[in-house]
Structure 1
Amino acid sequence: TSWTDMCRMLGVVSRKPAPVDTLMAFRQLADTGRNYRDFGCPQPNPKSGHPDGWGIACLGAEGEFYARSAAKATVDPKYEEAVKRLVRVCSPPLSLLVHLRYASKRDTIQEQYAHPFRREVDGRVTFFAHNGEIEGFGLQDGKIDTQLIYDRFLDSLGTEARPLPEFKQAVAKAKAAIDAEFPRKVESYTFLMLDGGRLIAHRDARTCVPYYTLHETSTEDMRVVCSEVLPTLPGRWRMLRNGEFFEVPG
């Protein structure tokens, strides 16, 4: 059975230890996160929230942390355990990426397909989380669509960390090639990526545009990008324009 692939994403760059209250507030979106139907878009499968797994990645001044699960974050004790371990292991300044999944195919609800995905590029660690899907892609060569998109982006970016204008050009080139290969099939390229210490956010929704959002805010000690506004961070949030790239240096 196929339905639309959706998710909620959180990215944080912080000078202080990992913000536990923000991570726990984000966890609630596994139950309450908005879906296609909340925006009047067709949603063939009626399940609510984002129940099909979670992943947390962190790059700190000392230490890296990475945990994933195919279980629903709000009922999975491993999520809370991961947050506790993360605080111990990943010392500030740090960059953090968290993902809650709503899978488009039941047979991909497995830990190995939970975002974010990790790749090393010439000794530099990168993590990638994506909100969207290539319609009808399913599993090809043991990979889901997000893994294909990530691989193509990294191939286009090459081995060096690129300044944002060059990063945008490389991603645009990769997207054009994917669009040519899968005409009118990509629902959204919206993503968060940790590239070394920096966080790069990009919003590119092709269908149900109000669903594929990213919002950014900042406090004295951290910058945050999230699919939805979080109640634990009451400051002013700005929604990224569709097509926008947003970089937070590490």
Structure 2
Amino acid sequence: MCQLLGLNSSVPAGLGPFFDVFAERGGRTDEHKDGWGIAFHSGKRCRLYTDHRAAIDSPLAARVRRGALRARNILAHIRKATQGRIAIENVHPFARQLWGRTWCFAHNGDLKEFAPAPGRFVPQGDTDSEAAFCLLLSRLAARFPDGEPAPDVLRDALADVAAGIAAHGTFNFILSNGETLFAHCSTHLHYRLDEGRAMIATQPVDSRDGWVPFAAGELKAFGSGTLHP
């Protein structure tokens, strides 16, 4: 399956050497070689970079590793395809507009017998992951037609919809609206808080202490580098 890496920070920050370790898993130190992507997301501004090639073979990944791009929320993904072709339209993160914001999403897992009816948001590719993202946003849009609800109400609604999707299989994901980073665990997900930064990863990207495993079924929200109660 794929792997996830996320950052939520109180100030614009970069992944630095953490992205180096993560990108090496994209075909060199691990088997996730079916594409990669990263979103730099702060407020209403989102810069999205994706490539269907393995991260270790991607000139775009090399430029990102050399660069100094920063954001308050970063979502990175390396893909090992379980559903869908190896093609640019199937590379995470995916992005859509809702309530005047850009929402970015990346998924690790495999959803079986999952074919939701078309809603407000329609997939462009043929992965279960993008279908799940579109269903999440469609359900939120239908539940809150007058606009984005309060953060705690939104988190509870996301947890409710995510639980229904997770009934079809493994549904680990990270999701950002530019302010808050939401993370849901079915099987493997970890987080660490460190001086105004929250890191989220499928597997820890360094050997330092402080990585905390999610419990199965947990959805957590991070804002300004802290864990929301």
Task: Give the TM-score band, short-chain normalised.
Answer: 0.7 to 0.9
Task: Report if the CA contact (8 A) 2:7-2:198 is conserved.
Answer: yes
Cα deviation, residue 119, structure 1? 0.6
Question: In 1, Cα distance between the equivalents of 2:204 and 2:28?
Answer: 12
- Look up the equivalent residue of 1:135 and give its one-letter code: K
Gaps of 5+ in 1: 1-5, 34-47, 205-211
- Corresponding position of 1:169: 157
User: With structure 1 as the length reference, what TM-score do the two structures score?
Assistant: 0.74
* Counterpart residue number, 1:104: 82
Q: Which residue of 2 aligns with 1:50?
A: 32
1:176-195 to 2 correspondence within 5 Å?
Answer: 176=164, 178=165, 186-195=168-177
- Is it true that 1:115 corresponds to 2:58 in the alignment? no
- 1:158-237 aligned at under 5 Å gives the runs 158=141, 159-173=147-161, 175-176=163-164, 178=165, 186-204=168-186, 212-231=187-206, 234-237=208-211
Q: Which moved more, 1:56-65 or 1:111-120?
A: 56-65
Could you say which residue in structure 2 is the equivalent of 1:12? Answer: 7
Out of 149, 152, 157, the residue aligned to residue 135 of structure 2 is 152
Pairs aligned (count): 211
Aligned mates of 1:161, 1:144 — CA distance in 2: 29
Aligned to 1:37: none
5 Å-filtered alignment, 1:26-105, equals 26-31=22-27, 49-60=31-42, 63-85=45-67, 87-88=68-69, 90=70, 92=71, 94-105=72-83
TM-score (norm 2): 0.81
Q: Which runs of 5+ in 2 are unaligned?
A: 116-122, 142-146, 225-229
Stretch of structure 1 that moved more, 72-81 or 154-163: 154-163
Structure ranking higher in helix proportion: 1
State the identity %. Answer: 24
C-alpha separation in 2, matches of 1:141 and 1:22:
30
Equivalent residue, structure 1, for 2:126: 143
